[in-house]
Amino acid sequence: MDNLVLKLKSLYTLVILLFVLCFKLSVSSRSHRHYYGGGRKLRSSSDNGSDLVTNLPGQPQVDFKHYAGYVTVNETNGRELFYWFYEAMTKPEEKPLVLWLNGGPGCSSVGYGATQEIGPFLVDNNNDGQGLKFNNFSWNKEANMLFLESPVGVGFSYSNTTSDYEQLGDDLTANDAYNFLHNWFLKFPSYRTKTFYIAGESYAGKYVPELAELIHDRNKDPSLYIDLKGILLGNPETSDAEDWMGLVDYAWSHAVISDETHKTIKKSCDFNSSDPWKNEDCDQAVDEVLKQYHEIDIYSLYTSVCFASTARSNGQTMQTSTKRSSKSSSKMMPRMMGGYDPCLDDYAKAFYNRPDVQKALHASDGHNLKNWSICNNKIFNDWADSKPSVIPIYKKLISAGLRIWVYSGDTDGRVPVLSTRYSLSTLALPVTKPWRPWYHENEVSGWYEEYQGLTFATFRGAGHAVPCFKPSNSLAFFTSFLHGESPPSTK
């Protein structure tokens, strides 16, 4: 009997020990979910409630939720990226997640993409940036939209380590964006398994494929898997040599430069060289191109420039002092729904530097203000590394079966339709559906061609930031992309 009692006591003790051990492992497991890579501490999913935006000044009344705030991408250095996330207007649980990136490098996806192009709240040009208006053609009608200010130094994003700002380039930007996504999924765990797409324009023509490649490569680890299905790129910088040739040929074919200047460039410029400007004739001829573009809006050839006192000081016009400036600039010239307004960047700056706006977006406490600018020219001028071409990444993503759509507004002189055609032609892809018009509301919206693994389309009469000029057409095109359907080719 005594032996039986002892055995029962021992069994009871063992059960208690196992219970305590399991509990500790459970707590440890939950704790470790807050970390990703290199000991970088991530914020838990409970934080998303504190990021809910509830009192944004001037916001139109809507039925969907939106969130804004910071995500840590490097705890050691204190690197924090700012995001703004809008749930889909209807049935967000059934719709994909899309990350939108603007370029520059150094320009804000919040200032451009979210509140000038495709977000639900646009800066009101009738109120000098002191209010918002509802966008009837917002892309969150079709998807959950996530806008990221990247890299640190752009918009509200920052680092507590000064040396971080000296290392900014393509690779750091891609890795921080990748870390951001995994961290963000901890805030919003229900989105981790959603169908995912990346979209962007201009210098994001490099950001987007580079991030997509990183996701593709690391998806081999099931614990890091992101369900990336495709990428969408507008007027994208793709391959430096072809981009330059396209810029020059477009300027000549659209009567911006003379025959003589064009002939000099064709004769003296080797854009495949690591330093084409060492040829003095080439250098001077390209300066002439930039000089002529300085007179108009390179991002929208046939619309007005802004004559406001601050317009030309915030980097809106082509800088002529350096070829580096021309090569990588992505400052867009937008329009509003009721007509074109080339001064909208100034209104965005006024809006995002309001104390009550920064407090509502959880970017500051409303007293210690951040100095928000739509583009950071220091980042732009000091960019450390830029891949000369992302065509090899295109090939890799095409082989992986990702959906790749590229579109061009055909009145953009900065990354013109010719640049994109020249770049894509180096892929030598077989044509599966030949060149034809696509339609929106019974009118030709542009032309498109389908290749094996890629779709290319134009937007007739649109500048660099296509959704600013063709909001309804852009939404229809975006919907076709998400559904994997060709743009409408009949009236």
pLDDT in tens, 160-188: 999 999 999 999 999 999 999 999 999 99
What pLDDT score does 32 carry?
29
What pLDDT score does 347 carry?
86
Q: Which tokens is 215 given?
A: 């996701």
What pLDDT score does 34 carry?
28
Q: Which tokens is 43 given?
A: 């914020």
What pLDDT score does 367 carry?
75
What pLDDT score does 365 carry?
80
Angle at 110 between CA 104 and CA 116, to 5 degrees: 90
Residue ranges per structural domain of the chain: 1-32, 45-239+387-483
Looking at the whole model, is its pTM more than 0.75?
Answer: yes
Catalytic residue among 412, 419, 440, 480: 412
Lowest mean pLDDT among 94-98, 147-151, 238-242, 382-386: 382-386
Asked if 367 is an active-site residue, the reply is: no
What pLDDT score does 127 carry?
63
Average pLDDT of the chain to the nearest whole number: 85
Convert 100-137 to b/e letters by CB count within 10 Å (16 or more is b).
Answer: bbbbbbbbbbbbbbbbbbbbbbbbbbeeebebbbebeb
* Banded pLDDT at 16 (limits 50, 70, 90): very low
What pLDDT score does 342 carry?
65
Lowest mean pLDDT among 243-257, 323-337, 348-362: 323-337
Q: What are the two backbone dihedrals, phi and then psi, of residue 295, each rounded to the nearest 5 degrees?
A: -80, -20
Q: How many CB atoms lie within 10 A of CB 312?
A: 13
Distance CA 487, CA 465 (A): 19
What pLDDT score does 139 carry?
98
More confident of the two residues 41 and 436: 436
Distance CA 368, CA 358 (A): 10
pLDDT digits 0-9 by tens, 39-61: 333 333 345 778 999 999 999 99
* Banded pLDDT at 100 (limits 50, 70, 90): very high
H/E segment holding residue 82: strand 79-86
Q: Which tokens is 304 given?
A: 């007005």
Q: How many CB atoms lie within 10 A of CB 224?
A: 15
Q: Which tokens is 312 given?
A: 């030309």
Q: Is 233 helix (H, G, I), strand (E, B) or coil?
A: strand
What pLDDT score does 175 carry?
98
CB 200 within 8 A of CB 233: yes
* Statement: residue 10 has pLDDT above 90: no
Please check whether the domain covering 45-239+387-483 is classified as CATH 3.30.70.520. no
Please state the rounded mean pLDDT for residues 221-245: 96
* Statement: residue 22 has pLDDT above 50: no
* Statement: residue 20 has pLDDT above 50: no
Catalytic residue among 109, 159, 202, 373: 202
What pLDDT score does 268 carry?
97
Distance CA 410, CA 415 (A): 10
* Statement: residue 158 has pLDDT above 50: yes
Compute CA distances 397 → 64, 217, 321, 479, 485, whole Å: 34, 10, 37, 21, 19
Lowest mean pLDDT among 151-160, 184-193, 327-336, 346-355: 327-336
How far does Cα 302 stand from its chain's mean position? 25
The DSSP call for residue 300 is S
Asked if 31 is an active-site residue, the reply is: no
* Banded pLDDT at 17 (limits 50, 70, 90): very low
Asked if 464 is an active-site residue, the reply is: yes
pLDDT digits 0-9 by tens, 257-300: 999 999 999 999 999 998 999 999 999 999 999 999 999 989 99
Lowest mean pLDDT among 215-219, 315-319, 343-347, 408-412: 315-319
Distance CA 307, CA 93 (A): 45
What pLDDT score does 317 carry?
29
* Banded pLDDT at 319 (limits 50, 70, 90): very low
What pLDDT score does 128 carry?
61
